[in-house]
Chain A
Amino acid sequence: MPQINLKVNGKEEQRTVPDNTLLVDFLRETLGLTGTHVGCDTSQCGACVVHVDGVSVKSCTMLAAQADGCDVTTIEGIGTSDNLHPMQEAFHEHHGLQCGFCTPGMVMSAIEFVSKNKNPSEAEIRDALEGNICRCTGYHNIVKAVQSAAQKMGG
């Protein structure tokens, strides 16, 4: 069982994990960070997206051991309820969530996307979110939220 050292939401973690532990299970079960969700078993839904060294990663496709030495950010590390991240704020403002299950993954994917594209078109946003499934919202309001956050974040 390898020992891994990583930073999660700014906090150093040193743990011993079985080799086959997925990053998502490590986050949810070992660290109790249950904001990252599991919606599928084929890496298609994006409910589990986190940032690893600033890049969006489906944490169900990565082993915890592969995150050794990395900087991992989960939804819990993005903003708090008194101090929402602009992307979280935009989802709230534009009703970009219903049941909330896809939301952490959506927010994480969207944040990385707008960091690279400050002034995206509707089509570009729809394209960028193609790896995340939401069954509730019909995406209309998610797209609006991402567009508005992109502007606020320095478009």
Chain B
Amino acid sequence: MPEGISNEGIGASVRRKEDKKFLTGKGRYTDDISRPGQLHAYFIRSDVAHANINSIDTSAAAKADGVVAIYTGDDVAADGIGGPICGWVVPNRDGTSTHEPPHPILAQGKVRYVGDHVVAIVAETLEQAKSAAELVKISYEELAPVVDLAAASSGAQIHDGMAENRYFDWELGDEAGTEAALNAAARVIKLTVRNNRLIPNAMEPRAAVAEYDDISETYTLYTTSQNPHLTRLVIGAFMLNIPESKLHVVAPDVGGGFGSKIYVYPEEAVCTWVCKKLGRPVKWTADRTQSFLSDAHGRDHINNVQLALDENNRITGLRVDTLANLGGYLSAFAVVTPTYLHGTLLSGCYDIPVIYTNVKGMATTTAPVDAYRGAGRPEATYLLERTMDAAAHEIGMDPAEFRRLNFIPKDAFPYQTAVALQYDTGDYEAPLDRALEMIDYKNFEARRVEAAKRGKYRGIGLSSYIEACGIAPSAVVGALGGRVGLYESAVVRVDPTGTVNVFTGTHSHGQGHVTTFAQIVADKLGIPIGNVEIIHGDTDRIPFGMGSYGSRSLAVGGAAISKAVDKVIEKGKIIAAHLLEASEADMEFRDGKFTVAGTDNEKSFGEIALAAYVPHNYPMDRLEPGLEETAFYDPLNFTYPAGTHVAEVEIDPATGVVEVVDWACCDDFGNLVNPMIVEGQVHGGIAQGIGQALLENAHYDEHGQLLTASYMDYCMPRADNLPSFKVDYTVTPCTHNDLGVKGCGEAGAIASPPALINAVINALSPLGVTDMSMPATPEKVWRAINDAQASAAE
């Protein structure tokens, strides 16, 4: 590494290149964009959960001040506009496929959740559109709502031709083998676990600005998207039926996503559809209540778990039966999240000889449910890690030791699980040991005694998780019902002066790619990171991309960049050999220099770049001028981050408030490119997980009204709800990408809810409490304490 840049390469905690614009208010989010002459769209949403639409009268609204146009489902149907599509389907147990009902962008004939899009009003100002909305009369014939997941199959039919409100009934694993293991077990641990429904709540609400240029006949859509190319594909090819080349999608600065901005939603499609009809740009921005009502929600599973143990406390089998609530329509990843991203993770970090799972994806009259930070993996980890604690409790073994006993040993990799995945590498004891040491696990009892003197219940809980990141490879994804490839693209364009532009198909909405990716390129090319620009989020500039979700950006997108840089270096070697009149086989590239092995004949990277663009002395018979390479990288496997999180809590019996007093975690993300950024990702994930475990819950009443539709009712974690976190790492590099990286964005949200609930139950276990559902709100905890005390007194 040349002088002066040794602190910028892979492994350095480089300060983020992207910070200054955000810190000074110069970020450019979608709602910051306004186009001359723009109109404003406002959506009238259903205020009932389930109803036939008898009539919609827009006549008075059409005459209101400033109103330019009003659209209903009839207009959508008349123009042949399609709806959002499902990106993945799975087979049913009986061999049929997932039921995929239509999802019109404005309701046609029926509404299926509170918040469903019914009418779009376009006016000169947003205020005018909103006022006009008051004049629209919609007559509904109300139908029975279907809200209770456990009873959804016997509820009123939500979609025509769909039996028992079931989108799919999927299975994985060996049912007969698992039943045999359960029958032969020395002990069977049985548990019902509910994973509460969450709302992602990226701080930036969704927004769209669409415009049409009638000279080039091109649409431009600025939108809050985690994957602009898929937005272009879905809106262009499946919804509006326009050539993809005529739709330019830009996802500028995006204020967080956490999964909710993966999908294409009706609003952005409506804006794109009508901007051409009206000949003016159309803008829409959600307010927070609209976000609560219609952003895809997360989680919402009921799991019945049976874990078989032999007389030595080794796990011999696992059966999980899951009901997954998918809401009123199937969102893009709604099917894959509770199936292939959930069922395949049920082996966790453990050596489990036989596993069977059945998942029923249910329709209810609630907002669509889809992937939210972790997507299936948090749900799997929660049920498994709660079960591990319940088992340890029942057999009277220390929960850490029970896990250790059942871990896949570190010499057993690659390890084929009973549920399809093959883990390439790992060492699960190392992070367990480190996390226990960081929290001083062995002296916990003394702290519990001390807390008791202060009248507090103190508890400790852990979870050891594994995650499958960087969903891949395309061939496997396709065989399992995925409708897209899961590679990533990168272009590395070297300028004549040796500076570099990198175009990546991933998308950054807070993860710091602009810095991390620049570090990779700078490190490999031996140039300062200031000479590397990372460009993302624009379909006109990037060949293709699959966006960012599932912690795929570094393991897939970063690996694609690395591969493109390798191609640049290979070409550079040929140019350098020509200039130095040496054999190509003798060329080496190190520290930014092409050198003839064993000599001091060398050319700098900048000289080679210049020669490529000023090819006066150039191997023209072999090479084209220019120095720009493209790579499409399709990984061989998922990557498998793993680790252990430990939570320590104190509970005040007078109030039921759970205070998180300490948190330690040790994760194995493979190699770290920027430890500072990785740590930030871990913090954010833990905070969302603590939110799920203690505070957050999307609550529908029995009529299907969302009672938690604002920050006054939905409890978001704030600074004073959280502790500081102790974070450390172990490293087993991924074996199948050349960076050796695994992914870190979701780990915290996956590992933390079970650790925390295990800690709460541990705190209350002296009272005889053995279960606690999420979120462990003060009221719920207070009741558990009082009920336990009352039954002890009897």
* Nearest B-chain residue to A140, judged by Cβ: B683
Q: Are A101 and B203 in contact, with the CB atoms below 8 A? A: yes
- In the complex formed, the residue of A with least CB distance to B714 is A44
Check B510 against A136 for contact (C-beta < 8 Å): yes
- CB 8 Å contact bits of B449-474 with A (1 = contact, 0 = none): 00000000000000000000000000
A77-113 CB mask vs B (1 if < 8 Å, else 0) is 0111100100010011101011111111001000000
Q: Given contacts A39-B288, A95-B680, A98-B256, are A130 and B720 in contact (CB under 8 A)?
A: yes
A: interface residue count bin: 35 or more
Residue from B21, B26, B204, B687 within 8 A of A39 (CB atoms): B204
Asked if A130 contacts B24 (CB within 8 A), the reply is no
Give the interface size bracket for B toward A. 35 or more
With both chains docked as a complex, state the minimum distance between the C-beta of A11 and any C-beta of chain B, in angstroms: 15
User: Of B25, B509, B712, B725, which one neighbours A138 at CB under 8 angstroms?
Assistant: B725
- Could you tell me the dominant secondary structure of chain B's interface residues? loop
Q: A126-B719, A130-B720 are in contact. Are A84 and B203 (CB under 8 A)?
A: no
> Which A121-155 residues sit within 8 Å CB-CB of chain B?
122-123, 125-127, 129-130, 132-143
Q: Among A30-38, A51-59, A62-70, which stretch is in contact with chain B?
A: A30-38
Q: Which of chain B's residues 372-425 have a Cβ closer than 8 Å to chain A?
A: none
Cβ-neighbour of A135 out of B19, B29, B202 (below 8 A): B202
* Cα–Cα distance between A55 and B75 once the two chains are bound (Å): 50
Select the residue from A93, A102, A139, A142 with max chain B CB neighbours within 10 A: A139
CA gap between A129 and B203 in the complex, in Å: 16
Q: Check if B70 is an interface residue, CB within 8 A of chain A.
A: no
**Alpha-carbon separation in the docked complex, A96 to B15 (Å):** 11
A76–B21 alpha-carbon span in the complex (Å): 10
Question: Taking the nearest CB of chain A, how far is it from the CB of B129, in angstroms?
Answer: 15
Q: State whether B23 touches A84 (Cβ < 8 A).
A: yes
Q: B688 interface residue, CB < 8 Å from A? A: yes
- Contact partners of A139 in chain B: CB under 8 A: 683, 687, 718-719, 722
Q: State the Cβ distance, B639 to closest chain A Cβ, in Å.
A: 21
Which A residues are CB-close (under 8 A) to B15?
92-93, 95
Residues from chain A with Cβ under 8 Å of B253 in the complex: 99-100
- Can you list, as one digit per residue, whether each of A9-25 has a CB less than 8 Å from chain B (1) or not (0)? 00000000000100000
Per-residue contact bits, chain B 696-716, to A (CB 8 Å; 1 contact, 0 not): 000000000000001110001
CB of B291, distance to nearest CB on chain A (Å)? 9
Query: What A residues does B73 contact at CB under 8 A?
Result: none
With a cutoff of 8 Å between Cβ atoms, the chain B residues found around residue A92 in the complex are 15-16, 19-20, 23
Q: Are B720 and A127 in contact (CB under 8 A)?
A: yes
Q: Which residues of A lie under 8 Å from residue B679 when comparing CB positions?
A: 95
Question: Is A72 interfacial (CB-CB < 8 Å)?
Answer: no
Q: Indicate if B512 sits at the interface (CB-CB under 8 A).
A: yes
Complex: A99 Cα to B712 Cα, angstroms: 23
A38-B287, A135-B716, A136-B684 known; 6 other A-B pairs, CB under 8 Å?
A: A28-B32, A37-B29, A39-B203, A45-B203, A45-B711, A139-B722
Give B residues with C-beta under 8 Å from A: 15-16, 18-29, 31-32, 34, 127, 201-205, 253-256, 258, 287-289, 509-512, 676-677, 679-680, 683-688, 710-712, 716, 718-720, 722, 724-725, 748
